[in-house]
Structure 1
Amino acid sequence: MRKHEDQPKEFSEILSSPKITIITAVYNAEKYLDSCISSILNQTYKNFEYIIIDGGSTDSTLSIIKKYQNQLTHWVSEPDKGIYDAWNKGLAKASGDWIAFVGADDQLYPDALYSYVQHIVHHPNQNMLDFVSSRIELVNMDLSLIEVVGETWEWERFRHQMITWHVGTFHSKQLFIKYGFFDTEYKISGDYELLLRAKNQLVTSFIDKITAKMRVGGVSSVNLFKASSETYRAKIKNDAISLVKGNLLMVFDKLRLFIRIYI
């Protein structure tokens, strides 16, 4: 636990506040990692632990991590099977009541953790909450704004489309106890697949506030096609859609992407 003697007076409202675990999976992210780490360590809310899982970077990523290692709860650098394998490694080390996943090229606003905690501890169903989401800014690589996204979780919409963004979400540790860790067979849509497991039993809440910036520039066409395939596989696997309908819609979606990218 990291302590801070100069917390604002309003922190007296939440003296028995939950512990947060923040996990960052990283691989060759020397360009943006320092600003990501700084945005987390400079949070106004201090009852958190920070875990970094590196996939065996070959650039200066390790030097950046080592610069902050005394402020990290745990870090490791070793080959992995992708982001969800790295997140699972982080979860295995996590001791927080709530878990957040922040990308190596993303940034949290300084009061992001406090906003979540304040919302959770004042929620009438706080002991039942599985998942809390917020709004985030999608930005280009230079942090220029593209759009603001994130909306209230509703099963009938979520079963058709991912309407939450991982950097703008908090996951209760109970969620992973009930539904398991991430499926490492997925490389892009594993966070969506995990949440689909709960179906309409997922207990959620929404914070109508921007908590983070997420870089989305440079998404390749290959990843767009892979994301489409994985998304429909996840829906079929968790009975959010039938096998026949899912495969049919997958074909239509790939055709839509092809037209958008190449025509």
Structure 2
Amino acid sequence: MNESSPAPTLSIITICYNNRLGLERTFDSVRTQVSRNFEYIVVDGGSTDGSKQLIADNTDLITAHKSEPDRGIADAFNKGIALSTGSFLLFLNSGDVLADNETIMHLNSALSQDIDILVGDIEIGGSKYSYRKDLHWQILRNYLPHQAMCIGKELFISYGLYDQSYRLGMDYEWSLRLNPRLTRVARTPRVLSVMEPGGISTSCYKGTFWAYHAARQKNGTCPRSISAFITMLFIAKRYCGLSFRRLLRN
């Protein structure tokens, strides 16, 4: 980073709805960070399971928060973006945790005004996943780990917020708008977050892949027939993979 340039600031955004136990794990991982050079935004969708009280009990950790009904995940993300003041945003959903207590310290040293997005690795169910270096493959499916990305806030100003009409795959749809800026994506070979298994995009994988299809059509990145074929191919692949794992467990 150029020493004459102002250091980028980091906002961590957590959204939640009736996931108190998961939210507590997320809070614990944020609280134990060695570096305190970040702001923490929490958006609750009007939970009734004690999440609101947990948020109230952790106001020393939280910079800003909001608890009210929303119109879905995209709406909650957008509320978090509106509350944030950082130049880079990290979305850490309730139940997800930062990889270790030096994650924020590493991010603050890796972030630069010369990049738009910093992507790390993510751990799900004990397995580590790395993003594809050639992001041209992004038109096929989502290879960017949302919970392991620091996104420049300016991108949301330039390319818009998440599309609230998407119940699933809103981060993928948003990424397809960024083709002109994909050269300013940097990678760090480090696990940034551990994702809670069984998230909605995983458990509703058919709906997620069809949301990807709709996103490709909206952004004109792939002919409809080819996009539909790709969608059915990925659904079949996921179904076979899940079936095989169930056989191994039995």
Q: Distance in 2 between matches of 1:15 and 1:45?
A: 21
What is the match of residue 230 of structure 1? 211
Q: Distance in 2 between matches of 1:221 and 1:135?
A: 18
1:172-226 C-alpha deviation (Å, 9 max, x unpaired): 1111121111001112211111111011532100000112111113768861111
List alignment gaps of at least 5 residues for structure 1.
1-12, 121-125, 140-144
What is the match of residue 209 of structure 1? 190
Q: Is the 8 A contact 1:135 1:150 kept in 2?
A: yes
1:86-128 C-alpha deviation (Å, 9 max, x unpaired): 01001111100110100100110211122122112xxxxx334
Count of residue correspondences? 240
- Helix, strand or coil at the partner of 2:20: coil
What is the match of residue 250 of structure 1? 231
Q: Distance in 2 between matches of 1:208 and 1:261?
A: 28
Q: 1:253 to 1:135 in 2, by over 3 A?
A: closer
1:122-141 C-alpha deviation (Å, 9 max, x unpaired): xxxx33411110012112xx
Task: Note the C-alpha offset of 1:167.
Answer: 1.2
Task: Note the C-alpha offset of 1:71.
Answer: 2.5
What is the match of residue 161 of structure 1? 141
Q: Distance in 1 between matches of 2:57 and 2:202?
A: 35
Q: Percent identity?
A: 27
Root-mean-square deviation (CA), in Å?
A: 2.4
Is 69-78 or 223-232 further displaced after alignment?
69-78
Is 219-228 or 106-115 further displaced after alignment?
219-228
Q: Distance in 2 between matches of 1:155 and 1:259?
A: 26
Matching of residues 103-182 of structure 1 within 5 Å:
103-108=93-98, 109-120=100-111, 126-139=112-125, 145=126, 147-182=127-162
- Helix, strand or coil at the partner of 1:31: helix
What is the match of residue 179 of structure 2? 199
What TM-score do the two structures reach when normalised by structure 1? 0.83
Q: 1:209 to 1:54 in 2, by over 3 A?
A: same
Tell me which of 179, 184, 188 is aligned to 2:164. Answer: 184
What is the match of residue 102 of structure 1? 92
Are positions 1:49 and 2:35 aligned together?
no
Matching of residues 29-40 of structure 1 within 5 Å:
29-40=19-30
What TM-score do the two structures reach when normalised by structure 2? 0.87
